[in-house]
Structures are given as C-alpha cells and as structure tokens.
Structure 1
Amino acid sequence: MAVDTFISGRGGGTDRPWAEAALLLGAHLEVARGRRKQSEVVEATNKRVSTSHYSRLERGEVRIDKPHIVSIILDALNIAPGTHRDHLTALAFAASKEGWASRFRSGHREVVPDSMLRLTSLEESATEFFVVDRNAIPGQLQTEAYSRLVTRYTLPASLRDAGLQEVVVGLRAERRTRFAGRLITDQPKGRFFVEEALLYADFGHPEVLIDQLQELLGLVENRALPVGIRVMTARAPLAVPVSTLTRLGFRKELADAVPDVIYNETGRTASFHRGSLPGINEVTDPDYVDLDDLIDNVLMRAPGYRDSRRLIENALMEAQLRL
C-alpha cells in the first residue's frame, strides 16, 4: 500500500459531500426549532413530513432524496427568504447527491449499511480523524492482503459468502485509497489507536501480518505525513462498550463550520453523535459527551510515539520468527 499512489479530491462552499451537508443542515434545523417540539414543526407542515423523517433530517442521518421537502420545513420553522434560507436550501441539494460508496450498495445492503454510506461520506471532508479499533488494524491503514484476511474472519457467519466478501474488500480498498490521497492533498490529521494484541493476531498467516506491520512502521517513520499511530496497552476496560470508535472534526475557520461527529460501532450496532454547532449551540447529546470523554481518556493512557514504535517493532520481530 504505497502512500504516493493514493488519489483524492473535494470541492468547497456548499459543494460538500452529502453527509456533511446533511449534518450541517440538521444542526441548523435544530437551532431554528428552538424550544418547540419536533411534533409542532411537523404539524406546521400539515403533516407533509412525518415526525420520524423530520427527526432523522434534524439529526443529519439521511441523504435527502427530495430536497424540495426542506422548503416546506423551512416555512414551518418561519425561516424567511434571504441569504440564510438560500444557504440551507443549497445544503439540502448538496445532501441529495449520492456518495462514492453507494455503488457498492446495489443489492448488498447487508454488508454496506446506511451507517457505512454516511461514515464514508463524512470522511471525505473531515480534517481530523481520531480512530480506536479494537477488532483489527484500522481500515484506513490496512494493506489489501490484511483487509482480505480480516474480512474473512470478522464478517458474521451468515455473511461469509465469497461475493459479499469481495464487496466489503472493494469498499475498504476504495476508502483506504481516498483517505491516503487526502493525506497528500488536504493533510487531515489522523490519530489511530490500536490494541496491542492486534499486533500479534495473524489469523494463521504471519506473512500477511508482517507486511501489515511493516506498513504501519512506514507510516510511523514518515514524519511528513500528519498521521499518529499509538498502541493501546492499558488493560482497564473502556467505560462505554466500543469495538470501533471514530471522531471526525471539520474545518473550523469556515463561516459555517460543521459540528464534530462521533461514530460508535459495537458489534453490528452503529450510531452517530453530533457535537455542538460552533459558536451557536451547545452539545445536547449525552452520548456524545460520554464518548468524547472516553476519547480523552484513551489519549491520556496510550503510550507516546517512541514507545508505540517499539511495540510495533517487537511484534514484527516475533511475527518474522514465526515464519
């Protein structure tokens, strides 16, 4: 997985990936609603929007396949014509575009769920990645061979079909390629935390693990890339159940900055939690607060650069001895 072969690209303004636009639009809808209940807003639309759909729009969970519906909601929220309304309408149309991961979705919803479509879209414009993966080396850092091996052993038994595995491997490869391309072009900061035990998990193929560990060392030693890799050695359990935890941050210097998002995956259950809209509102999601605190604890407990590098080197030498 050579870093210099990766590609990427992104526009600006309201030419945003759909999930970022939906996230920002939803945050503004929540601010505009104020103390009113969501049901009151739905009632003001003459129930042309269901309460469940409006709730998902406000949380930024869904791609808006019918942007004109948002105009009805803006009327219900008494948002008058003008620059602000025009901006929200533009966000609605940006949130209607399909992301790159949708092409892996056709007929494969079971292995490419809505949560993955949303996560991959948010990753397209994030400027800060904080990733804790307790099941495998984080996907953005995987070699193709390691990705295939991990996919084979981590997919639920009911999904271990060769065709479905190829879909997952293909999506992960595209995700990895796009992230590494952005490391060169946009320079997002990435901090990845790996369980120490995962450095020794070869699934019966030490040669694959050796290549993966060498890839990690290459990233650690390339100080020109904004990537930090830390090995988690603490034995204390995390306060909140986590298999994969990701916090994504976005450009804060923009006039309309995007809230941070935390993605938490536990087993086959995935959830997103939105932070505060910068300069406008406070965090109202208690799960976001708890998970953000957990991230701070991981940051404090994890070894630094030198110790993490030594732990990876030790694992690599042991894997080489097993050949």
Structure 2
Amino acid sequence: MRYGPAVRRRKLGAELRRQRELTGMTSRQAADVVGWHQSKVSRIETGSSGAKPSDVARLLDAYRVADPELRALLGALCGADTTGPGDGRTGARRGWWYAYRDLLPSAYLDFISLESEASRSRTLETTVVPGLLQTPEYARAVTRAALADPPDHQVDELVRVRMARQAVLHREQPGKPLELCAVLDEAVLRHEVGSPEVMAGQLGHLLTTAALPNVRLHVLPFSRGNHIGITGPFVIFSFPRIADLDVVVLDHLTSSLYLERKEDLRAYASAFAILRAHALPHEKSLDYIAGIHHGTQ
C-alpha cells in the first residue's frame, strides 16, 4: 500500500535519508536497528514505497530525532494527520479533515494536510479569491458554480471545510500562523460572484483579513497589462526549516498537479517574485481594494 501522493513520498524519503546520514549510519545499519531488510529502508528513502506513520516513527527514533515539530511534519508527509486525536494503532493523530474523508477527493485532502503543516504559502489567483480569504457566502457561490447542481447538504459541508481551513491563519499551536502572500489579478476583485452583496462582503473581508500581520495582498491592476501569471494560478508551500520540502500545486478542474523538481520550484518562485514586484505594494493594494469596494475605482 502507498501512503500519500508521490511528491510527499519522495520528499519524506529524502528527509529521512538526510536524517540517517546525519547519524553516520548506512541504510543497512539503519535497517538492522529497526529490524527490517535494507531494501525497505532504500525503497522508503527513494520514495518508491510509502511509509506508514509507525514506520516513520521507528526510523526517527533510530536516528534520535526528538524535535516534535520535525516529527509532526514528517508524519504529515506520510499521511499521518497531526492535529487530532490518535487512531489507536499507529499513534498518529488525525487532522480535523479526517471527518470529511468520504466527502472530499484525495487530492483535496492531500492539499489540506500540506497546507496545515506549511509555514508559508505564496499564491497567485487570477479568477477567484483564495480559499483562505473567502467569506462563507462567497465560498458557497463558488462551490455551487464549480459543481453540477450539488445538493444543499454537500454545499454546506464543503463550505464548512473551507472555513475550517482558515484556522491556519490564526493558529498558535503547534506552530506560528501560516504566512500568506497572495497576488490577485484585478479580475478576482471585479468578477461578481454570487451577487453584489456577496462581493461587497467579500471585499470588506479581504480588507479585514489583510490587517493580520501574517497576511500580505498584492493587486495586479488591469493597467499593468499582460504578466507572467496569465497562464494560470498556482500555490507554493514552504515548510519550517526544510527548504527541500517546498512544493508547487497547480489546480485543474478534476485534479491537482504537484511539482517538486528544483528547477520547477526555482521557476515558480522566480515567477512569483516577478509578479509581486509587478503588482501594487500591500498598502496601495488595500487602497485599491477599498476603492473597488466603495465604487471609486
């Protein structure tokens, strides 16, 4: 059985290999310590085979990794949700999203688990407000537009999930709030979603949320012309202390694509830096949003 998407398996394996090398152990010695065949350690380290939460815990114990933040992060990468009660078998804790496992596609669950462990998120949006910044009314309208005649109870649950995700912007434990930097094409602010009243509430909410010290918004006005992000939105997740775990997520209609190659990460990080420099500064962006909100732009 494989645990977690391929990108997480490979990143987990690379970090476990790094932790092993820090101890001076060979893969054979590590296997001897935990009582496995060497091939199992090798498969986990290359990402060709998944690791259960209990496997990761045994390896981290063997490597004498005591840092709870690092252990939680690596647990999340192997599919062990790390913010809820234990499952009674592996000692892993389940995240709040576990309760929605029958409702949400696996790609969305993977996205939420990565988002919950990330320390920073850089996102470009070209058509809709990022999920972490949506009001319930706006999220409801977006959900109805994205699905084919969904029943009310499904919409209610999906909106509830989206609102629950926003807790990362306010969390105190186990880590600091997520640092969110969002570049928004002006179309995001102009595209009427739901109704004029819904959009007015959404724009006001953007202004309120942008007052958080960990949130930065940058608007790309139409007057700036074409830009490097015109091909579509993306998200870059970064993780505490481990730059090699960064991942780019591209959303499609029915799936998500995870990019992890260093050249891809460099390309998207560079693109985001260019977009941010091309956009209005944070304070001027808030003035711009306020102008649209009050009908003066």
- Scaled by the length of structure 1, the TM-score of the pair is 0.64
Asked if the contact 2:127–2:191 (Cα under 8 Å) also holds between the matched residues in 1, the reply is no
Corresponding residue SS for 1:160 = coil
Judging changes above 3 Å, is the alpha-carbon distance between structure 1 residues 168 and 225 closer, same or farther for their aligned structure 2 residues? same
Judging changes above 3 Å, is the alpha-carbon distance between structure 1 residues 126 and 54 closer, same or farther for their aligned structure 2 residues? closer
Judging changes above 3 Å, is the alpha-carbon distance between structure 1 residues 145 and 89 closer, same or farther for their aligned structure 2 residues? closer
Per-residue deviation, 1:139: 0.9
Give RMSD over aligned pairs.
Answer: 4.3
2:246 corresponds, among 245, 260, 272, to: 260
Aligned AA (2:279) = A
Q: Which residue of 2 aligns with 1:251?
A: 240
Asked if the contact 1:70–1:92 (Cα under 8 Å) also holds between the matched residues in 2, the reply is no
Residues 1:121 and 2:113 are matched in the alignment: yes
Judging changes above 3 Å, is the alpha-carbon distance between structure 1 residues 266 and 204 closer, same or farther for their aligned structure 2 residues? closer
Per-residue deviation, 1:23: 7.0
Q: Which residue of 2 aligns with 1:186?
A: 176
Q: Which residue of 2 aligns with 1:83?
A: 64
2:48 corresponds, among 49, 55, 58, to: 55
Counterpart CA distance in 1 for 2:196 and 2:291 is 14
Q: Which residue of 2 aligns with 1:317?
A: 294
Judging changes above 3 Å, is the alpha-carbon distance between structure 1 residues 292 and 105 closer, same or farther for their aligned structure 2 residues? same
Larger RCO: Structure 1 or Structure 2 (Cα < 8 Å, ≥ 6 residues apart)? 1
Per-residue deviation, 1:194: 1.6
Corresponding residue SS for 2:121 = strand
1:301 corresponds, among 272, 278, 284, to: 278
Residues 1:232 and 2:232 are matched in the alignment: no
Unmatched segments (≥5 aa) in structure 1? 1-17, 35-42, 58-63, 275-283
Q: Which residue of 2 aligns with 1:211?
A: 201
Counterpart CA distance in 1 for 2:9 and 2:52 is 11
Corresponding residue SS for 1:55 = coil
Asked if the contact 2:138–2:193 (Cα under 8 Å) also holds between the matched residues in 1, the reply is no
Judging changes above 3 Å, is the alpha-carbon distance between structure 1 residues 91 and 181 closer, same or farther for their aligned structure 2 residues? closer
Per-residue deviation, 1:101: 1.4
CA offset digits 1:109-158 (Å, max 9, x no partner)? xxx222222222222232222121223111111111111111111x142x
Corresponding residue SS for 2:122 = strand
Unmatched segments (≥5 aa) in structure 2? 22-36, 81-91
CA offset digits 1:82-112 (Å, max 9, x no partner)? 537xx99997766434332121122x2xxx2
Q: Which residue of 1 aligns with 2:127?
A: 135
- Among the aligned pairs, what percent are the same residue? 22
Judging changes above 3 Å, is the alpha-carbon distance between structure 1 residues 145 and 44 closer, same or farther for their aligned structure 2 residues? same
Aligned AA (1:266) = H
CA offset digits 1:2-56 (Å, max 9, x no partner)? xxxxxxxxxxxxxxxx99996753223566999xxxxxxxx9638x979xx9436
